[in-house]
């Protein structure tokens, strides 16, 4: 079981993730637009990950299976953004996301540490950049959608820091102890930023 501080932040994060899952499920039923499914996938994984962290503790984070499944959060949200706002790129990005997920899964589960050091930061980083920069360039996006970009910045930082820890390295001042200290508040702030941004869509 995670410490009480982490449990509180994870419960708050889970509440926001559950709301966003419901929100995108409703929007999919209304419009049948594929991008809502991608968003839903990302936030459903966030919800499940948060519950696992509550009951099993932060010690599961180095697990290759957790790392692999968690990669669906940035990949799902970034695919949703390209599907909705950058249709000219969506086909290529879907292939990128598929290759990225498989690369992370194979190198993590297969214990290929050298390749994992390349695959995880690369695909997490690109997906994070898409979520960070995409909302600022999205044509027709509602006012305030830039909050999604802030969420992308937070998910990118957290994901890359966790990736380095999973291979026994440190990114800048992101020591394992520091990452564990800020991880659950960071997840909450990330979910809050996403909620603020996506709720603008009405």
pLDDT digits (tens, 9 = 90+) for 80-92: 999 999 999 999 9
The secondary structure element, H or E, covering residue 58 is: none
Longest dimension (CA), the chain: 46
Would you give the DSSP letter of residue 59? G
Q: For the chain, percent helix, then strand, then coil, each to nearest 5?
A: 85, 0, 15
pLDDT at 193: 95
- In angstroms, rounded to a whole number, what is the distance separating the alpha carbons of residues 187 and 158? 8
Q: Which two tokens stand for residue 83?
A: 């599907």
Would you give the DSSP letter of residue 60? G
pLDDT at 163: 63
Q: Which residue has the tokens 């599961």?
A: 60
Q: Which residue has the tokens 């995670």?
A: 2
Instruction: Round to the nearest angstrom and report the end-to-end CA distance of the chain.
Output: 37
Mean pLDDT throughout 24-39?
93
Question: Apex CA 113: angle with CA 110 and CA 115, to 5°?
Answer: 90
**Residue-averaged pLDDT of the chain:** 85
Residue environment code for 127-150, b if the CB has 16+ CB neighbours within 10 A, otherwise e: bbebbbebbeebeebeeebbbbbb
Q: Which two tokens stand for residue 130?
A: 């898409």
Instruction: Tell me the backbone φ, ψ of residue 200, rounded to 5 degrees.
Output: -70, -15
pLDDT at 164: 61
Q: Would the pLDDT of 180 be above 90?
A: no
pLDDT at 123: 84
- In angstroms, rounded to a whole number, what is the distance separating the alpha carbons of residues 188 and 145? 18
- In angstroms, rounded to a whole number, what is the distance separating the alpha carbons of residues 86 and 91? 10
Taking only the tens place, the pLDDT of each residue in 128-171 is 889 999 999 988 888 899 999 999 888 877 766 666 665 556 55
Residue environment code for 151-190, b if the CB has 16+ CB neighbours within 10 A, otherwise e: bbbbbbbbbbbbbbbbbeeeeeebebeebbeebbebbbbb
């Amino acid at each position: 079981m995670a410490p009480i501080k982490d449990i509180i932040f994870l419960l708050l994060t889970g509440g926001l993730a559950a709301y966003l899952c419901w929100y995108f499920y409703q929007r999919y039923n209304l419009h049948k637009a594929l991008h809502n499914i991608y968003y839903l996938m990302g936030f459903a994984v966030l919800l499940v990950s948060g519950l696992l962290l509550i009951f099993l503790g932060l010690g599961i984070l180095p697990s290759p299976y957790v790392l692999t499944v968690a990669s669906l959060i940035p990949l799902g949200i970034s695919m949703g953004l390209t599907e909705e706002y950058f249709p000219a790129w969506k086909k290529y990005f879907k292939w990128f996301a598929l290759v990225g997920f498989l690369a992370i899964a194979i190198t993590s589960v297969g214990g290929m540490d050298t390749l994992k050091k390349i695959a995880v930061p690369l695909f997490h980083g690109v997906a994070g950049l898409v979520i960070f920069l995409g909302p600022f360039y999205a044509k027709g996006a509602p006012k305030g959608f830039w909050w999604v970009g802030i969420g992308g910045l937070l998910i990118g930082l957290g994901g890359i820091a966790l990736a380095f820890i999973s291979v026994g390295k440190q990114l800048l001042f992101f020591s394992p102890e520091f990452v564990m200290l800020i991880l659950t508040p960071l997840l909450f702030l990330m979910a809050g930023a996403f909620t603020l941004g996506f709720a603008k869509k009405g």
